[in-house]
Chains A and B, each alone.
Chain A
Amino acid sequence: MISLTINGKSTKVDADPNTPLLWVLRDHLQLTGTKFGCGMAQCGACTIHLDGEAIRSCVTPLSAAAGKQVTTIEAIGETQAGKALQAAWLDADVPQCGYCQSGQIMSAAALIKQNPQPSDDQIATAMNGNICRCGTYGRIHSAIKQAAEDLKKGGAA
């Protein structure tokens, strides 16, 4: 049994400590918002937060999360940055197929938290680990700028 906090709830997981968090979330806890894309930290679809830092859950073992706070897309809307990003995503109608968007929003939320007013280059660099095959990069970029702007004004929807 490994104890950790997932989306604010303390949780005990009975799984091999080497199990990647991705499969703990998806198969053990049925939190399917976090997606499987590559299994080797190449695509970013599985991005979650571990103590507020963006990590690739497909290569992070459960043991690394023992006693820590895990946040997934299902709860990111409860944070100020997450809420602002989701609103900006809706405003720009970012998603197409939508499969990568959980990971995109989680990466963006970590960026905004760390750097509330990122430059264009900083956004592109921070987000280059998240692949979108539908090609929504331009809209993701605009939505992050918009969310940063809204947060600065304190007017996050």
Chain B
Amino acid sequence: MMTRLETELPALPETGLARREFLIATAGVGGGLVLGFLLPRVMGPQAKHGAETSTFRTESRPFVPNAFIRVDPDGLVTLTVHKVEMGQGTFTSIPMLVAEEMDIDLAKVKLEQAPADDKKYADPILGSQVTGGSTSIRGAWKPLREAGAMARILLLTAASKQWNVPLEECTTSGGMISHGKSGKTVSYGEVAGAAALLPIPQKVQLKDPQHYRLIGTPAKRLDTPSKVNGQAKFGIDAQVPNMKIATVAASPILGGKLTSVDDSKARSIKGVVQVVKLEDAVAVVADHMWAAKQGLAALDIKWDGGRNASLDIKDIVGQLQEASNNQGRAAPGVVARSVGDFRKTFEQSKHRFEATYQVPFLSQAGLEPMNCTVHVQPDRCDIWVGTQVPTLAQAGAMTLTKLPAEKIFIHNHYIGGGFGRRLDVDFINQAVAIAKQLPYPVKVVWTREEDMQHGIYRPYYYDKLSAALDDQGKPIAWSHRVTGSSVMSRWVPQMVENGLDPDAVEGARDPLYARDNLLVEYIRQEPPGIVTGWWRGVGVTHNMFMIESFIDELAHLAKQDPLAYRLSQIDHVPRAKAVLQLAADKAGWGGALPQNQGRGLSVQFAFGSYVAQVAEVEVGKDDIRVKRVVCAVDCGTVVNPDTVVAQMEGGIIFGISGALYDQITVKQGRVEQSNFDNYRVLRMNEAPVIEVHLIRNNEAPGGVGEPGTAAVAPAIANAVFAATGKRIRTLPLVPSLMQT
């Protein structure tokens, strides 16, 4: 019989509830087995290097049954998934965990989207029902395998009792239980009812990784068939009987309010049904989008621009610069981390270097514009939407409708590109506010222009890095002062302690280099008018650009090869060293390139994964062409290797758009960019050849959705330097390069 590794189930909560309630098996409708289980709250993995990343600290909290496995008498296994699918592949990798331990085919697992419920479906790392932060597999890894193993052992036990044979003589495969000696077989479905009546064991055995059938083997995504024939339903595809379509215009000046609207012309357009006024927006409701769009264009709207009416991007950058230089401030920034004595070492050193880096506001620009369908009735509110945060959507609707949570139904859909934008519910709240004024369901669809100009943007950061080098050129003191908006103060204020936003300094707090004398500070400076939020790669994205550009500059100062320089400093992080060496080897680091071409690299530890990239670029008169990106990844245990590769490929393409072209700027209080003609994103003819190399091991799984994005911008900036000798410290690179 296959060896299995024993695992202690999570500690019992302090409330003294019996294990029976903690991990509960019950008879399902029609005689099946229903297994509810708790996803224990875990802390971490903390941003530490090495083996520490694999240890989770279990934190007890009141019991609530969490996800559910259901085994029907016909053998169908249904898994309620607490995550939403937005392209990252968790609708395939999460069922893989369960199917692996249950010894069933992946195709046998049917998925159901969990309803909005923080008590039952919170992510173990994030603490609420959120799909984001590259947490899905990291959080699900242990509890979902345990749940699968629990289901299997209960089914196996039920069969052995039925046959009156020792449990050890029974085996499972393909959803069947067999007793070799007697040749008896029975399906899971046939014993599901009996299994549900068994006591829950204290321990379950997890498979030894050497016996994995599914984990670590490429699996075809379960959602692909519906995504090649037009059948996949995104939020924007929701169809509700008697539904109308609305499109909106919010104040073109950020933060402005509606003064008045003359809708007489709009109302005369065929198909226009109603005009709805909100405090800061107007919606035209129509039979279809075309009439709604025409109606919106026909409105004569007066706005009160308010205090941002003359706001310019230069003002915002000026404020950041001033804050960073600490002018007029009594206290310096919040200290995020202090090791040794940076100031003394820096001041006493002969070799000092400082540089300032800037990254712009960014739109996520997912291809599916913001949209939400809502039907508000006196006794219930239904919301059809694609959201990364169903419980936040529910909470917003509760406030607006005064209905209790159990009367608000979130029908979550596939997301046509999340990238962090759908971690916010502004557009859902707006749709609820509109629907409240209507006696019928309404689908509110933003135009691309509305989407881009009323976004929730990745913050502008203005960072100063300083280092002192020893006589051999090695950094012996390092400081990083991050200045910018605090997303967490708006989004999860409870995670901001003493003014320190952990996201703003993620990756900066724990650099791979110069760890003996380290000072990391954060200065919060909020931009007027602009709401800041999440963008693929979050804090790591800007900090890695800063850090990996800066270390490249130090290598140049030390007259050393950027690869050798980094390798000589990261002996304490062997997994980082290994990915860096692998990426460099595969890229042919050091090999000759034609004129105007260059190679640059980056290495990072973030989201529990080690990633190194080498970018090859060609710098032309007015453009930068990324020709090739070689990426090496160590994300610990790989669940679906093809998904890891796909996420790296996608993260790199997303990151290249941000590195080369993208920025949201403001003039006279208005966002200047409006559509893909002036917010340029990478296209197929501009996409590089991408090679992804995985280092395989049995360490705890790391996240893969975001690291690829964070690693590519510095690799490109360093490659531009290698090609031209020009150091670009402000993203996006193409406009910055044109100004040099």
Contact = CB atoms under 8 A, between A and B. Distances in A.
Partners in one complex: yes
Given A20-B290, A37-B369, A95-B228, A133 B233 contact: no
Interface in A67-107: 72-74, 76-77, 85-86, 89-90, 93-102, 105
Contact of A40 (B232, B234, B239, B675): B675
Given A23-B288, A93-B646, A96-B87, A35 B676 contact: no
Given A16-B290, A36-B369, A133-B366, A97 B414 contact: yes
B687 A137 contact: yes
Given A100-B367, A125-B685, A36 B445 contact: yes
Contacts of A124: 684-685
A15 B291 CA distance: 10
A98 B232 contact: yes
A102 B230 contact: yes
A42 interface: yes
A119 interface: no
Contact of B687 (A40, A85, A134, A138): A138
A129 B230 CA distance: 19
State the majority secondary structure of interface residues on A: loop
B415 A97 contact: yes
Interface string B674-688: 011100011111110
Nearest to B709: A135
Interface in A123-157: 123-125, 127-141
A28 interface: yes
A42 B675 CA distance: 8
B236 A35 contact: yes
A134 B646 CA distance: 9
Contacts, number: 182
Contacts of A31: 230
Contacts of A74: 229-231
A98 B414 contact: yes
Contact of B239 (A15, A30, A42, A100): A30
A96 B229 contact: no
B693 to A, nearest CB: 15
Interface in A5-23: 15-16, 18-20, 23
Contact of A36 (B221, B236, B642, B684): B236
Contact of A86 (B228, B291, B654): B228
B224 A105 contact: no
A124 B687 CA distance: 9
Q: How large is the interface on A (under 10, 10 to 19, 20 to 34, 35 or more residues)?
A: 35 or more
B368 interface: yes
A73 B88 CA distance: 23
State the majority secondary structure of interface residues on B: loop
Nearest to B238: A32
B652 interface: yes
A26 B366 CA distance: 19
Given A30-B239, A39-B448, A93-B220, A98 B87 contact: yes
B296 to A, nearest CB: 12
Interface in A24-51: 26-28, 30-40, 42-43, 45
Interface string B53-94: 000000000000000000000000000000000111100000
Q: Which of B223, B239, B448 has its CB near the most chain A CB atoms (within 10 A)?
A: B448
B640 to A, nearest CB: 10
A101 B236 contact: no
B245 interface: yes
B416 interface: yes
B263 interface: no
Interface string B387-398: 000000000000
A137 B653 contact: yes
Interface string B291-311: 100000000000000000000
B229 A135 contact: no
Given A43-B367, A43-B676, A98-B87, A93 B650 contact: no
B382 interface: no
A134 B685 contact: no
Contacts of B271: 16
Contact of B88 (A28, A34, A36, A96): A96
B239 A89 contact: no
B483 interface: no
A107 to B, nearest CB: 10
B365 interface: yes
B190 interface: no
A131 B221 contact: no
A30 B230 CA distance: 12
A90 B228 contact: yes
A95 B447 contact: no
Contact of B683 (A98, A128, A136): A128
Given A37-B367, A98-B416, A124-B684, A135 B230 contact: no
Contacts of A131: 367, 676, 681, 683
A137 B289 contact: no
B690 interface: yes
A95 B227 contact: yes
A105 B224 CA distance: 13
Contacts of B229: 33, 73-74, 76-77, 86
B651 A135 contact: yes
Given A36-B369, A89-B228, A133 B417 contact: yes
A136 B650 CA distance: 6
A37 B448 contact: yes
Contacts of B233: 32
A136 B649 contact: yes
A90 B684 contact: no
A70 B173 CA distance: 49
Contact of A90 (B225, B239, B368, B686): B225
A136 to B, nearest CB: 7
A135 B649 CA distance: 6
Given A37-B369, A97-B366, A131-B367, A32 B651 contact: no
B708 to A, nearest CB: 9
Nearest to B86: A97
Contacts of B223: 95, 98
B43 to A, nearest CB: 30
Nearest to B657: A133
B685 A128 contact: yes
A73 to B, nearest CB: 4
Interface in B405-443: 414-419
Contacts of A28: 288
B649 A138 contact: yes
Nearest to A34: B230
22 contacts: A23-B290, A32-B239, A36-B369, A39-B448, A39-B449, A40-B675, A43-B367, A43-B676, A73-B230, A93-B220, A95-B221, A95-B228, A97-B368, A97-B414, A97-B418, A99-B367, A99-B417, A101-B228, A128-B686, A132-B653, A133-B419, A133-B681
- Interchain residue pairs A-B with the least CB separation, the first 6: A33-B230, A135-B653, A99-B416, A96-B87, A97-B87, A98-B227
Given A76-B229, A102-B230, A133-B365, 4 more contacts: A16-B291, A35-B416, A97-B367, A136-B650
